[in-house]
Amino acid sequence: MNKFEIKFFTLVGLFLALLLMGCDRMFKDSITFRGQVYVTASTTTAVACSGAVVQVVGYDVNAITAGNGAYSLNIETSRSFVLPKTDNYTIQAFDPASSENASATVSAKPGDDIKVAPLVLID
């Protein structure tokens, strides 16, 4: 191989590596957060909170808890082809009937299905 071919293939390799690293916006994916919301009036007993609103801070999606306080929330995000990127997400729950709210921060990367620790609203 002559010097031109070596330089050419090196530049092509670098270009492809940069292209793949920058393509994370092209690979759409999602993250699912699952958990339960409880409400308590004391420190000893908590009951499932039906009808609470759960959201991921910074995203325009929310979920309403079922009768057992369970929710499933899905957000759209990007997947990096080269390096999966883990980010922190804040999950927030609030009861529309009161001004109480609770939140938790979790780490996730595209494609994850995350079990969030129970969120407890203190009434």
Whether 92 maps to a domain, the answer reads yes
Specify the pLDDT at position 113. Answer: 94
Whether 43 maps to a domain, the answer reads yes
Residue 13 pLDDT > 90: no
Question: Which structural domain range is residue 115 located in?
Answer: 27-122
Specify the pLDDT at position 9. Answer: 75
Q: What CATH code is carried by the domain that includes residue 85?
A: 2.60.40.10
What are the tokens at 94? 């609030």
105-118 confidence digits (pLDDT tens)? 999 988 899 999 99
Compute the average pLDDT of residues 53-68.
95
pTM check: above 0.85 = no
Number of separate domains in the chain: 1
